[in-house]
Amino acid sequence: MNESFPSSVRMSHSDDMDESDTAMSLATVPFQEPIFLVGMMGAGKTTIGRALARELGWQFIDLDHELEARCGVRVSLIFDIEGEQGFRKRESALLDECTRRTGIVLATGGGAVLAPENRQHLSERGVVVYLRASADELFRRVERDRNRPLLQTDNPRQRLQELLAQREPLYQEVASVIFDTGSLPIAQTTCALLRQLQDYGTDNA
């Protein structure tokens, strides 16, 4: 699902660059493993993930979008028809498949870390980045989004705080890197994350 995130500054790679220009300006990281993004709804996984993949010249996959494409319906409808348990079963099967790929940046769903097998796949198969943001910042980003099944309650702010309290230890458990998203424009955010990933790769070489 699309996530709200500052984007007032254009990415450094313009859409009209030709292939040779793009190849010359691609960023690199000192490791071969895929990059998996975890974090709450509204953390910026889709927006940051797409920008990061573009900088690296890697494929970007959004797990929720991939699931929607395969099922032919939105995540919210899967929740309505099959319940959260049915959705999580589909999510786990797809995550197992996607985490076996190389050269990708994968944006996971906010609850993907709930299943122990998912946490194992993420930890063992790639570099996991926890995109961290405060409950207030997360709510500001998603409060007008009606495609968040878990927030369709009388008090969505409280529900989001409860979800964050439940999930944050799991995000931290699997994280190779913890990155505070803040409120910088997307280009600056992506550059900062790239530097942190490069430092991580160098330190763990």
Query: What is the C-alpha to C-alpha distance for residues 45 and 52, in angstroms, rounded to an integer?
Result: 10
pLDDT in tens, the chain (205 residues): 445 444 333 333 334 444 444 445 789 999 999 999 999 988 999 999 999 999 999 999 999 999 999 999 988 889 889 998 999 999 999 999 999 999 999 999 999 999 999 999 999 999 999 999 998 888 887 766 666 665 666 677 888 899 999 999 999 999 999 999 988 899 999 999 999 999 999 999 7
Tell me if 22 is assigned to some domain: no
Domain of 153? 29-203
Residue type, 123: S
Q: Domain of 36: which CATH number? A: 3.40.50.300
Tell me if 23 is assigned to some domain: no
Query: What is the C-alpha to C-alpha distance for residues 6 and 10, in angstroms, rounded to an integer?
Result: 11
Tell me if 189 is assigned to some domain: yes
Q: What does the block give as tokens for 125?
A: 């198969």
Q: At what angle do helices 156-174 and 116-125 cross, to 10 degrees?
A: 50
Tell me if 134 is assigned to some domain: yes
C-beta pairs of 139-145 under 8 Å, 24+ apart in sequence: 139/42, 140/42, 141/3, 141/4, 141/5, 141/42, 141/44, 142/3, 142/4, 142/41, 142/42, 145/1, 145/4, 145/42
Residue type, 81: I
Tell me if 87 is assigned to some domain: yes
Domain count, the chain: 1
